[in-house]
Homo-oligomer: A and B are copies of this chain.
Amino acid sequence: MSLDDRKLEVLRAIVEDYVATQEPVGSKALVERHQLGVSPATVRNDMAVLEEEGYIRQPHTSAGRVPTDAGYRLFVDRLSRVKALSPAERRAIERFLAGAVDLDDVVHRTVRLLAQLTRQVAVVQYPSLARSSVRHLELVPISSTRLMLVMIADTGRVEQRLVELPGPTSNDDVLDLRRKVNAKLTGEKLADTPPLVQALVDECAPEKRITMACLASVLLETLVERSDERLALAGTANLTRGGVLDFQGSLRPVLEALEEEVILLKLIGEVEPSTTRVRIGDENEIDNLRAASVVSTGYGPGTTIVGGLGVLGPTRMDYPGTIATVRAVARYVGDLLAQN
């Protein structure tokens, strides 16, 4: 038996009421609060079907119904109307992000803004190096056998690493290295650099090859191999909203998961172009987050994507509102990056 329109309407009503009240919702209350045009008894029959199909369940016999993960999924996919943000919200976003002075600042402001607007935990990934291009490489002598490698990416990210040289190296040599390296790598996508770096070593005069090799290995590490992804997190205090009910009583596993950068990257980092991804409860691969939902999307200047951002909260969350906010913030951040 398939679900007719009214049953879907009932499901929507259940989701909306449950999200709002945090309490199992019964047939009578449903009819009162929504104009369904039928009696509670009819709604009960519909509920029985919805329950059989796995979209809702009863915490106990003779309690109201609560949406299951599958119920939320159906709601998100087919039932939720997109909420437009209020002009006030749009203005708040713009104003909040406008004052940012550098990339760090942009990311921090964004993550706080997101946490505040959605009242959830927010995560923002720094523009991924893998998706950036080299704008400039700088070599700064620290001592005769050490230099500081500073890479500036077009997304505004700056990474630095110390390079231990095999032997004393003159300032002129350093200048020479810098020239060569920049000539070869400036403007290149970081993902494309490994063969170029190798070529740099190969093309080098033999007497300088060892030095160049040192530099090259650090370069490769910095640019590619190193888990180059950085994150900002905010709003953990929002996990405590809704008392002990959300997250099946224990914040522990969630807090643990939030400490693992790798996990967070998995959550918000896998970005397909311009989609907003919603993972509900069990759909999360991470066991610790089976009681949580994640709404994430990519951001970047124009239509390209340089990083991900998103929020995490209880499965019982306002999906339409959250999705709208996440999208809007992502777009504003993208615009901001485009201006540089």
Binding site for B on A (CB under 8 A): 101-102, 135-136, 138, 140, 142, 148, 150, 152, 156, 158, 160-162, 234-237, 239-240, 244, 250-252, 255-256, 258-259, 340
Cβ distance A237 to chain B, nearest Cβ, rounded Å: 4
Given contacts A239-B255, A240-B252, is CB(A102)–CB(B162) below 8 Å? yes
Bound Cα distance from A140 to B150, whole angstroms: 10
Please tell me how many copies of the chain the complex holds: 2
Bound Cα distance from A138 to B137, whole angstroms: 11
Interface of A is mostly: mixed
* Neighbouring B residues of A255 by C-beta, 8 Å: 236-237, 239-240
* Neighbouring B residues of A240 by C-beta, 8 Å: 250-252, 255
Given contacts A142-B135, A240-B251, is CB(A158)–CB(B152) below 8 Å? no
* Neighbouring B residues of A136 by C-beta, 8 Å: 140, 142, 148
* Neighbouring B residues of A161 by C-beta, 8 Å: 101-102
Cβ distance A230 to chain B, nearest Cβ, rounded Å: 9
9 shortest A-B CB distances, which residue pairs?
Answer: A237-B255, A240-B252, A237-B256, A158-B160, A136-B140, A236-B255, A138-B138, A240-B251, A150-B150
Bound Cα distance from A158 to B140, whole angstroms: 12
Question: Which single residue of chain B is at the shortest CB-CB distance from A218?
Answer: B101
10 A-B pairs (CB sep. < 8 Å): A138-B138, A138-B140, A148-B152, A148-B158, A150-B150, A234-B259, A236-B259, A237-B251, A237-B252, A244-B244
Question: Which single residue of chain B is at the shortest CB-CB distance from A142?
Answer: B135
* Neighbouring B residues of A259 by C-beta, 8 Å: 234-237
* Neighbouring B residues of A340 by C-beta, 8 Å: 162
Question: Which single residue of chain B is at the shortest CB-CB distance from A140?
Answer: B136
Bound Cα distance from A234 to B258, whole angstroms: 10
Cβ distance A52 to chain B, nearest Cβ, rounded Å: 37
Bound Cα distance from A102 to B244, whole angstroms: 41
* Neighbouring B residues of A142 by C-beta, 8 Å: 135-136, 152
* Neighbouring B residues of A239 by C-beta, 8 Å: 255
* Neighbouring B residues of A258 by C-beta, 8 Å: 236-237
* Neighbouring B residues of A237 by C-beta, 8 Å: 251-252, 255-256, 258-259
Bound Cα distance from A252 to B243, whole angstroms: 10
Question: Which single residue of chain B is at the shortest CB-CB distance from A115?
Answer: B259
> Contacting A251 at CB < 8 Å: which of B152, B156, B235, B251?
B251
* Neighbouring B residues of A156 by C-beta, 8 Å: 162
Bound Cα distance from A250 to B243, whole angstroms: 9
